[in-house]
Structure 1
Amino acid sequence: MASRARELLALQPQDGQIWKALSVAQQLLGEDAQPALERAMQLLPGDAELAANLGALLAARGRWREARAAYEQALRLQPRLAGAHNNLGNALLALSLPQEALQAFERALTLQPGLSAALGNRARALLALGRHAEAADAFGQAVMAQPRDAALRLHAATALLAAGQPVQAAAALRGALALAPGHVEAWEQVLRLDAGHVEAACNLSLLRPARGEAVLGAALALAPAPERRAALLANLGGLRLADDRFTDAVAAYRAALAAAPQSPQALSNLAQALKRQGALDEADAVLGRLIEQDPARLSARSDRLLLRTYRGLETAAEAAAFGRAAQAPAVAHAARGPGPLRVGLLSADLRQHPVGRLAQAWLPALAARCELFVYANQRGDDALTRRLRGATRHWLGVTEMDDATLAERIAADGIDILLDLNGHTGGHRLGVLARQPAPRQFSWLGYAGSTGLAGMAGFIGDCWLLPDAAGALFSEPLRRLPHSFTVYAPPADAPAVTALGGQPCFGSFNALHKLGDDVLALWARVLAAAPGSRLLVKAPGLQHEAERAALRARWPGDASALLLEGPASMAGYLAAFGRVDIALDPFPHSGGMTTLDGLWMGVPVLTLPGAAPISRQGLSFLQTLGLADDWVAADGPDFVRRAAARIADRQGLARLRAELRDRMAASPLCDAPRFAADLLSLLQA
């Protein structure tokens, strides 16, 4: 429409109606319509609609004085424009002229008694004038006209409270929150009425985390009943855990559990915080209490399986018990005619997460070779999610679907092969896989252990991740890719590899829960064997002194050799590898994404694999790169000897550092098309 108007103006530049049409089209397109509007007004000086449109444009830009003038011009031309009177009132309110605004709104309502916007605006003007009882009545009329408008109910509560009617104000707030549970101002109003209102304090702490501790602390200071106290403390723990303040979070969750000793949520929360802190034995014990209290709580069984996998413990029997408990009726598979292979991905981690980052490499390559369906069990998108979603035509958010409904949907989509990328990690949908929505189902990538589910076609790894003896750890058949179990997508903005530094420096950028006491003891021996060396530990939590102090207290060597830092942006995190000569791989939970990133940044990793697949990720990567002979240790003493020898060989380290990125880029670790072809061959074998 805009382009057609411009064509006509080239022929008839003095036609005001064409200029008006252009201004309307530009407003619809979000373009700057002011020049066209002003030209149209010059040519059509008696058109009230043009002046009103200009007022709306100026109001949207916050130019209230000019907007007022435009509306007043429109009303001089056409005094019976109810909408223009209402808009003039809004401009007058914005200019702090409530009495004049009230007159404008009342004139609008005289002309059009059912103009609902003017009803609410008249009430706002009365409130601004301090006529609280009249404002409360006026908001009541406006709410009757627009019962789904939460903001009107919130304003009504403000007026009722000012008018000395707290009971009615609370009712209005309940109505507002029923319509808009995320309305911050409504929860603030509730707390003004009742400072100890638990639900309001908890919701406001979630909506405004920066104020959360103060809000929750104020509610706790009023000595609520034990159940209410536990709820407040649980939210306080959640705030602290989200900020990586593990020690403080554990303290809050312990207090919540003291207030409500049988609370399943308090037990679960405490276990999660202890795990993040690295207190894995205690976290295991807390989950044990939860399972003993409620054996049917499958989420607790998954949490403990994940925890025990981290610890390198044998979990096959426990996983099988989970599988028996999770059994559900199988869904019927839809018959479909010939066509391309349909592969489904089920994951909660297709976002800024290690699984999501790895998917940047293989997902587009897989989508190019089959009909790929993604079932994303995550709330909200980030930039990585949007990139991944753009790589496939079929992407469905499934968080709101229960297991039975999602299983029916996958079956109806005619999925031939379903890949589960979660196992027992957070957000999993194993209850869907238990219903067998696809003829063949595999577990891969997100979890290095058995799901325990019957009927799975396999667990996918490679020959280094899954040696022959690993079969005893799984209920699934083991399926081995010919090269690495995954591929890597180098970050597009990764900085260049830097030259080797002067003072020898080891490093670990792994999460604190991987750094058990045995790991720290071995690494302390490494530093003792390499005089003058330091260890840079960069991990979430270490931006806080409490977590740094806790790690120093556990360190069995000279703590002055430790450099402890919190997380950074992706660019800062990658750049920090420039200060590290050799990365030390933790055990039994070895590094994954951090190992790949370090290798890309020219930093070799020294690893100590065990029997469990979770301990063998570094081994897999180093074998794929042809570096295993030098960088895979047989035992603890060998680890110390290799670390000391390698960091002393400064020339050898410098050569490897300079060539490592090119070696990696040319390896199967960065060959996504070949990996996708290998994966599809395995899935169809």
Structure 2
Amino acid sequence: MQTLNKQLENAIRNLQDGHFNEAESLLSACLKLDPQNADIHRFLSIAKALQGKNQEALESINASIKINPQNGITHSNKGNILRTLGRHQEAIDCYQLAIKLLPGYAEAFNNIGNLYQEIKQAQESLQYYDQAILIAPGYANAMANKSNALLKLKLYDQALEHIKTALQLSPNEPFLLGNYLHTKMLLCDWEGLDALYSQVIAGMRSGQKTTEPFGLQGICDSEADLAVCAQIFAADHFPAQNPLPAVSRPPSPKIRIGYLCGEFRDQATSILMTGVYESHDQDRFEIYAFDNGWDDGSPLRARITAAFTQMFDITRLTDLQAAQLIQETGIDILVNLNGYFGDGRQGVFAYRPAPVQVNYLGFPGTIGAPYIDYLIADPIVIPSDSQSFYSEKIAYLPHCYQANDFKRIISDSVLTRADFGLPEQGFVYCCFNNNYKITPATFDIWMRILQASPTSVLWLIEDNPTAGNNLQKEAVKRGVDASRILFAKRLPLTEHLARHRLADLFLDTLPYNAHTTASDALWAGLPVLTCKGNSFAGRVAASLLTAINLPEMIASSPAEYEALAIELAHHPEKLQQTRVRLEQHRLTTPLFNTTSFTKDLEAVYEGMMGGAQTNKIKIL
């Protein structure tokens, strides 16, 4: 018995230290000594689950339950395994049984909340988090998980308060500090922002799990820090799995491209990409959609569905099941259109279901994972001396990396400035970027621009009321009347594009530029002024403006950006010349030539297929 106890203690220690394979071996040895020990079976199931051996883990947990069916913790653990296997209702049943056996077991309520978040029912998850917190007021993880649900519901104020509480309870809760930073950015709550950012970066540089990659891009302009962030996050959330066993299939005369995305609907990624889907050469390519989102019934969704050879709904599949489906479909190149943005499925790529796997468009940065082979870019967003900050090989397009759809419709409604509360006279600066992209440094510049042009106003998108109030308060602190900061409510895209024509100049943000929003403005005929940044996300608008041949709208420094914004307001004839050039170039330069762009993209795909065989390092 003493030998068994020592082996069990050693196995549990290995589990705690992350040595899961060693723990599994020790626990298997313990079972030979005591095969009817329910706890050994339970710990063995944990060791297997943590290695991704979920089916084996289920067998072990069932053995534990057979020996001791009254252990509520074991039933909750079984629910976790079933959740990972995509058997959601069975998982809920296990959690409910755990609660029946252990009414005060807060973790079971927390687990149910997590399941509902995973199946995109964030509102439903809240009641379970609340119950977990009611049982265990100091349960930091439940508090943090509830904050994530609130963020998905765009209840940013409430999310911020829950994050604060969770940090007080557990300052080192993984990635929570970065969520706190990003939520403050969403609310334009800049109090203590510099110190918080420094804390996030310092922790991350020391290897701590302080922040996820997407939120950090809104405030960080260091490619080195962004790369470290992605690597830490990928290793924690989406580690490489054992690749799927190779399967033989007859050669196909066409290259099969799989696009995996959670936004095949009326959303920015599809607004940019739909024309590309439609323009693919059907004699050389078959294109397949692997949809992790939903059908919103929009005209754009109808176009998307019609463009693909076939669409697969993977929302109810596990990562492994989705990977197997992709492999069975014979996909040659699998394109990750989400990365760390939106409703992506990064875990599917971890099984390497396709010979070539690509990071493109949705996330402007490195994934930081070994199973993503290429990142599609252009020489402006990733210059040659920046390649070392990206784990992927860089596949360069000859012009702008960002797709655009030349079929986008602009409403012909007659709109006036009065319709949107804008002054009939005076200069209208605008920025329709998400509010989290507005940093104090950018806002300082904007306020000096307004002060230099006394009849001007700044027109921003209305993300949430708190952000609007905070921005107006920040304007007053900088000596600008709050009434000069105006907000645009969200509209259907055709009308949103049309209202751009009421503004005079689009002011870009740093360190995270306008991406789709810059394309919107340029398509609608509104000049965009940008400052070229130090990261992929901060160089996108420069790429767009280069592709439409308006290099004079790219500033090389914040000071030059500020001076040019003032000059254009004071010299309307110069701005009018830019407007004329924009209109002339809109349909004659590469930026909005969807057909030409798609041909370039297809050439890159063909190069990747060759690169997979020849170990080619860069595609130029």
Quick one: higher RCO (CA 8 Å, sep 6+), 1 or 2? 2
Higher alpha-carbon deviation: 401-410 or 506-515: 401-410
- 1:174-573 to 2 correspondence within 5 Å? 225-226=136-137, 235=146, 238-239=149-150, 241=151, 244-255=154-165, 258=168, 270=180, 273-278=183-188, 303-304=212-213, 306-308=215-217, 311-314=220-223, 315-321=226-232, 326-331=239-244, 332-366=246-280, 368=282, 369-379=284-294, 381-383=296-298, 384-454=300-370, 456-489=372-405, 490-495=407-412, 502-541=425-464, 544=465, 546-555=466-475, 556-560=478-482, 562-570=484-492, 571-573=494-496
CA distance in 1 between counterparts of 2:349 and 2:113 reads: 35
Aligned AA (2:137): P
Would the aligned equivalents of 1:322 and 1:453 in 2 still touch at CA under 8 Å? no
Would the aligned equivalents of 2:462 and 2:468 in 1 still touch at CA under 8 Å? no
1:578 aligned residue:
501
The change in CA–CA distance for 1:467 and 1:262 in structure 2 (over 3 A counts) is closer
Any stretches of 5+ residues in structure 2 without a counterpart? 1-87, 93-108, 418-423, 608-620
Would the aligned equivalents of 1:496 and 1:601 in 2 still touch at CA under 8 Å? no
What's the offset of the Cα at 1:232? 8.2
**Deviation per residue, 1:258-292 (Å, 9 max, x gap):** 56777669768646533423567677679789989
Aligned AA (1:481): L
Higher alpha-carbon deviation: 427-436 or 595-604: 427-436
1:71 aligned residue:
none
CA distance in 1 between counterparts of 2:434 and 2:258 reads: 30
Would the aligned equivalents of 2:511 and 2:533 in 1 still touch at CA under 8 Å? yes
**Deviation per residue, 1:438-485 (Å, 9 max, x gap):** 222221111121112225442111222222222122122222111221
1:644 counterpart (538, 541, 566): 566
Would the aligned equivalents of 1:598 and 1:604 in 2 still touch at CA under 8 Å? yes
What TM-score, normalized by structure 1, do the two folds share? 0.61
Would the aligned equivalents of 2:257 and 2:285 in 1 still touch at CA under 8 Å? yes
CA distance in 2 between counterparts of 1:597 and 1:532 reads: 26
CA distance in 1 between counterparts of 2:366 and 2:175 reads: 26
2:596 aligned residue:
674
Question: Secondary structure of 2:382's match?
Answer: coil
Would the aligned equivalents of 1:328 and 1:435 in 2 still touch at CA under 8 Å? yes
CA distance in 2 between counterparts of 1:212 and 1:327 reads: 29
CA distance in 1 between counterparts of 2:414 and 2:399 reads: 26
What's the offset of the Cα at 1:251? 2.2
1:627 maps onto 2:543 in alignment: no
The change in CA–CA distance for 1:506 and 1:673 in structure 2 (over 3 A counts) is same
What's the offset of the Cα at 1:623? 0.8
Question: Secondary structure of 2:458's match?
Answer: strand
Aligned AA (1:373): Y
What TM-score, normalized by structure 2, do the two folds share? 0.67
The change in CA–CA distance for 1:547 and 1:216 in structure 2 (over 3 A counts) is farther
What's the offset of the Cα at 1:520? 0.6
CA distance in 2 between counterparts of 1:242 and 1:426 reads: 10
Aligned AA (1:249): A
Aligned length: 487
**Deviation per residue, 1:181-208 (Å, 9 max, x gap):** 9xxxxxxxxxxxxxxxx89x989x9999
The change in CA–CA distance for 1:262 and 1:618 in structure 2 (over 3 A counts) is closer
What's the offset of the Cα at 1:679? 0.5
Would the aligned equivalents of 1:487 and 1:668 in 2 still touch at CA under 8 Å? no
Aligned AA (1:452): G
What's the offset of the Cα at 1:502? 3.1
The change in CA–CA distance for 1:209 and 1:234 in structure 2 (over 3 A counts) is closer
After superposing on structure 2, the runs of 4+ consecutive aligned residues of structure 1 that deviate more than 4 Å are 205-213, 215-220, 222-225, 227-239, 241-245, 256-272, 278-295, 320-325, 496-501
**Deviation per residue, 1:219-242 (Å, 9 max, x gap):** 99x976516898589658845x45
Question: Secondary structure of 2:357's match?
Answer: strand
Aligned AA (2:409): A
CA distance in 1 between counterparts of 2:373 and 2:140 reads: 47
Question: Secondary structure of 1:614's match?
Answer: coil
Any stretches of 5+ residues in structure 1 without a counterpart? 1-176, 182-197
Would the aligned equivalents of 1:625 and 1:663 in 2 still touch at CA under 8 Å? yes
What's the offset of the Cα at 1:548? 2.2
Aligned AA (2:241): A
Question: Secondary structure of 1:507's match?
Answer: strand
CA distance in 1 between counterparts of 2:335 and 2:372 reads: 10
2:528 aligned residue:
605
Would the aligned equivalents of 2:122 and 2:153 in 1 still touch at CA under 8 Å? no
The change in CA–CA distance for 1:391 and 1:636 in structure 2 (over 3 A counts) is same
Higher helix share: 1
CA distance in 1 between counterparts of 2:144 and 2:368 reads: 35
Would the aligned equivalents of 2:146 and 2:159 in 1 still touch at CA under 8 Å? no
Would the aligned equivalents of 1:538 and 1:567 in 2 still touch at CA under 8 Å? yes
What is the CA RMSD across the aligned residues, in angstroms? 4.3
CA distance in 2 between counterparts of 1:265 and 1:611 reads: 24
Question: Secondary structure of 1:463's match?
Answer: coil
**Deviation per residue, 1:369-389 (Å, 9 max, x gap):** 510111122255442334312
What's the offset of the Cα at 1:582? 0.5
Question: Secondary structure of 2:586's match?
Answer: helix
Would the aligned equivalents of 2:514 and 2:540 in 1 still touch at CA under 8 Å? yes
Would the aligned equivalents of 2:506 and 2:527 in 1 still touch at CA under 8 Å? yes
**Deviation per residue, 1:401-439 (Å, 9 max, x gap):** 233332222222221112111222243333332332222
Aligned AA (1:372): I
The change in CA–CA distance for 1:565 and 1:243 in structure 2 (over 3 A counts) is farther
For the pair shown, which has the larger CA radius of gyration, 1 or 2? 1
Aligned AA (2:549): G
